[in-house]
Amino acid sequence: MDDRLKEELAAWLEFYRDLGIEEFYRREPGAGIELGNSKLETGVSAEAPIVSAAPPATSDSRLPVSETSLPGHEPRTAAISPPPISLSLFEAPPPPPRARETLEEIRADLGDCQRCKLARGRKTIVFGQGDPHAALVFVGEGPGADEDEQGLPFVGRAGKLLNRMIQAVGMKREEVYICNIVKCRPPGNRTPEKDEVDACSPFLFRQLQSIQPRLVCCLGSPAMKTLLGIKEGITRVRGQFFDYGKTKAFVAYHPAYILRNPREEKILREDFETIRDFVKTRA
């Protein structure tokens, strides 16, 4: 047997071993090779024995047949189609769900914020205050002078009125969460400008996502426009509920407006009764 035939024979032995076939036997010269119901007469002498393997347990008609020992034939190998592979076996498992941010983490990310020009005139960042799992969140406009001094939202005259409204409907300030659309005092308590709101409101949105309240109360027009995108005047939409993601939003007058217009306090009280009833029925 020449070297080329030995190499081919070794290659075939390795091929059948990969298929799980370990046992081979030698046919007598002239016995031929049985393929199905037919028989090939090889006419090969004893000097050129044929190595044949018994078919595997799962008879597959796609298995290759060696023709290297048949006169006038070039070696060839019939392709074996691999079984279908499920890609899911090789796909990475889905990442675990991301934990909800805590208010402490958001505050740490805010840091000593210098993201807008309000930072130049502030004394204290007023992040927010209250129950981190509150069912009700009040969102105002921005800190005033008292809030800037103490670092807490709604502690001035408007804050005292807000506290009175909360208590009048049987709630406590500690049970709600209070914050503003900007966390630094605008000069002279002016309305926050667009670039200031754009820089600060992402932290407000993250706070609401962390708390996941049942109701967000927009106190005043700036909060209404920032959270709901409503461009109409607040007098046209005050006292109404709106969809806000998976929760609801309610529009009410800002307590500072009531201080300037005391006759409207009855309306604010009615709005707070509506807020109380909504939160209780959704509890």
Mean pLDDT by groups of 10 residues along the chain of 283 residues: 73 68 59 49 44 44 43 49 51 72 98 98 98 98 98 97 94 97 97 98 98 98 97 96 96 97 96 95 80
Same domain, 125 and 176: yes
Instruction: Evaluate whether residue 92 is within a structural domain.
Output: no
pLDDT score at 49: 43
Give the closest residue to 248 by CA, choosing from 270, 199, 222, 281.
281
- What stretch of H or E contains 38? strand 38-40
pLDDT score at 29: 56
Local structure of residue 220 (DSSP, 8 states): S
The token pair that represents 279 in the structure block = 């939160």
d(CA 128, CA 122): 16
Q: Which residues contact 279 (CB under 8 A, 6 or more apart)?
A: 135, 136, 214, 215
pLDDT score at 14: 73
* HSE-CB of 243 using CA atoms within 13 angstroms: 2
Instruction: Evaluate whether residue 206 is within a structural domain.
Output: yes
Same domain, 7 and 145: no
Domain limits for position 42? 3-71
d(CA 137, CA 175): 9
Instruction: Evaluate whether residue 17 is within a structural domain.
Output: yes
Same domain, 114 and 249: yes
Local structure of residue 242 (DSSP, 8 states): E
pLDDT score at 13: 72
Dump the DSSP string for 67-98. Answer: -TTSTT--------PPPP--GGGTSPPPPPPP
Same domain, 141 and 227: yes
| Residue labelled with tokens 């103490």 | 150
Residue 127 CA from chain centroid, whole number: 26
Same domain, 53 and 134: no
d(CA 106, CA 96): 21
Among residues 71, 86, 116, which one ends one of the domains?
71
Instruction: Evaluate whether residue 38 is within a structural domain.
Output: yes
Instruction: Evaluate whether residue 88 is within a structural domain.
Output: no
Same domain, 153 and 258: yes
Same domain, 36 and 113: no
Cβ 67 vs Cβ 52: under 8 Å: no
pLDDT score at 124: 98
Helix (H, G, I), strand (E, B) or coil at 252: strand
Among residues 51, 71, 91, which one ends one of the domains?
71
Same domain, 166 and 64: no
d(CA 247, CA 136): 11
Same domain, 194 and 247: yes
pLDDT score at 9: 74
Same domain, 129 and 268: yes
| Residue labelled with tokens 């960042």 | 125
Instruction: Evaluate whether residue 199 is within a structural domain.
Output: yes
Residue 179 bridge partners (DSSP): 139
Instruction: Evaluate whether residue 230 is within a structural domain.
Output: yes
Read off φ and ψ for residue 148, nearest 5 degrees.
-65, -35
Q: Quote the number of domains for the chain.
A: 2
Describe the chain by its helix, strand, coil percentages, rounded to 5.
Answer: 40, 15, 45
pLDDT score at 11: 72
Cβ 128 vs Cβ 272: under 8 Å: no
